[in-house]
Amino acid sequence: MGKATGFLEIQRKKPPTRPVPDRIRDWREVYLPYEESALREQTARCMDCGIPFCHQGCPLGNLIPDWNDFVYRDRWAAAIDRLHATNNFPEFTGRLCPAPCEGSCVLGINDQPVTIKAAEAAIIERAFDEGWVVARPPAARTGKRVAVVGSGPAGLAVADQLNRAGHWVTVYERADRIGGLLRYGIPAFKLEKRWIERRLRIMIDEGITFRTGCHIGVNMPVEELRGACDAVVLAGGSTLPRDLPVPGRELQGIHFAMEYLTMQNRRCEGDEIADAQFLTAADKHVIIIGGGDTGADCLGTVHRQGARSVVQLEVLSRPPDTRAAQNPWPLWPNIFRVSTAHEEGGERLYSIATQRFAGDADGRVTALHTTQVETVNTNGRLAFKPVPGREVELPADLVLLAMGFVGPERNGMISQLGVKVTDRGTVWRDPNWMTNVPGVFTAGDMQRGQSLIVWAIAEGRSCARGVDAYLMGSSDLPEPVR
């Protein structure tokens, strides 16, 4: 490595952020770029560890020590080549991935891990600034046509890889803009949408076709889709939200997180939404049910809309500040985390379950009746037992349900194609990423279940190899990481 003793001499330093009073007044991204000297110091912390477990932590198998060393040595062009070798969209993962690679960093055994994610973001932005990321259409075309349904990270990765293999690729998206959850699920303060547009321009110049407003199985029959191509890839995501069926759920003012986040993202895009239909937290007591990334996205949005108060509830117990004995390295560290949205305010309550919603005479929610719970093990499965006498009523004018997703929508495309689903409700596939229907493949959350952006891209790349081999008899696309 460039500086063999860097991990001994240099402490971890996260990239700078905009001050909280400033950033909650707009929708621009929170993080600021590293100064180059600071970034080189951080990459110098990467150890000559012999076996880089960060490769194992990353579903893409990113060659992390290599590009850390290139940054330290000021070899930026080599760094982006090595990064793009495994990752189609580092500008997305460098902003949105929770960085399982850092959880597996060898330095993390007894110190703070290397700032891998921030280095990744810096490399791709330097590459764009230098003009190194340009359209590179394939030298020859196979004549084969592939339809990719869904334009989230999995669908975009499939499309990018298959286009590189020389196939003609069309991406179908039911929404009015390309990007899936990148577009309408992720708030602009985490991912400004100009970065999506920047990448899409390159993909279009490389020959990929994008069609919006195409809801396969609804306004476009599956027969039309199949008749226009040699293979189909289903990458529609896991979009059915988990509900909370307790008394009072029918009250007005209780919404799924994606309904809420999508509206604000549309306004940020310039769409006109009448105030009467727009979901806003302005001057309201807000409760967010769910302590994951989607809940944090809601939290940051609530702050920017000017809520009177906000409380985030989590049914699980508060994670420890450091790894527990049963959570050793290199497993993902289940520890207490503070996102940029949490830095901005709000209260977090753990081991809390909602018993019922209360409302007023007009049918609007006014409060949550909750109770503290304790986690118990019932035949190997977690269960939550109410603690007597620990009931609490919380005021609420707006409740956001951010409890994850339960699978893809089955009506329409899946049912019309006759695609088999698993007991978990996800789309079944064989080892080559094909469903039970010949020529129909699947990738991403639609077959995996709700997961991370880095898994979506990794599965898109692996699925593309399966499609290419099906169409051509063999494939030169990269082997799946796992």
Domains in the chain: boundaries = 6-130, 145-239+406-472, 244-403
Instruction: Find out if CATH 2.20.25.90 is the number for domain 6-130.
Output: no
For residue 259, pLDDT over 90 is answered with yes
> Do the domains 6-130 and 244-403 sit in the same CATH topology, yes or no?
no
Under a CB-based contact definition with an 8 Å cutoff, are residues 173 and 180 in contact? yes
For residue 258, pLDDT over 60 is answered with yes
**pLDDT the model gives residue 48:** 83
For residue 15, pLDDT over 80 is answered with yes
Residue 380's pLDDT band (cuts 50, 70, 90) = confident
For residue 172, pLDDT over 80 is answered with yes
List, for residues 344-376, the tens digit of each pLDDT value.
Answer: 999 999 999 999 999 999 999 999 999 999 999
Mean per-residue pLDDT, 140-151? 98
CB atoms within 10 A of CB 21: 8
> What fold is seen in the domain 244-403?
FAD/NAD(P)-binding domain (3.50.50)
Residue 68's pLDDT band (cuts 50, 70, 90) = very high
Instruction: Find out if CATH 3.40.50.740 is the number for domain 145-239+406-472.
Output: no
**pLDDT the model gives residue 482:** 55
**pLDDT the model gives residue 377:** 85
Residue 481's pLDDT band (cuts 50, 70, 90) = low
3-state secondary structure the chain: CCCCCHHHHCCCCCCCECCHHHHCCCCCCCECCCCHHHHHHHHCCCCCCCCCCHHHHCCCCCCHHHHHHHHHCCCHHHHHHHHHCCCCCHHHHHHHCCCHHHHCCHHHHCCCCCCHHHHHHHHHHHHHHHCCCCCCCCCCCCCCEEEEECCCHHHHHHHHHHHHCCCEEEEECCCCCCCCHHHHCCCCCCCCCHHHHHHHHHHHHCCCEEECCCCECCCECHHHHHHCCCEEEECCCCCEECCCCCCCCCCECEEEHHHHHHHHHHHHCCCCCCCCCCCCCCCCEEEEECCCHHHHHHHHHHHHHCCCEEEEEECCCCCCCCCCCCCCCCCCCCCCCCCHHHHCCCEEEECEEEEEEEECCCCEEEEEEEEEEEEEEECCEEEEEEEEEEEEEEECCEEEECCCEEECCCCCHHHHHCCCECCCCCECCCCCCECCCCCEEECCHHHHCCCCHHHHHHHHHHHHHHHHHHHHCCCCCCCCCC
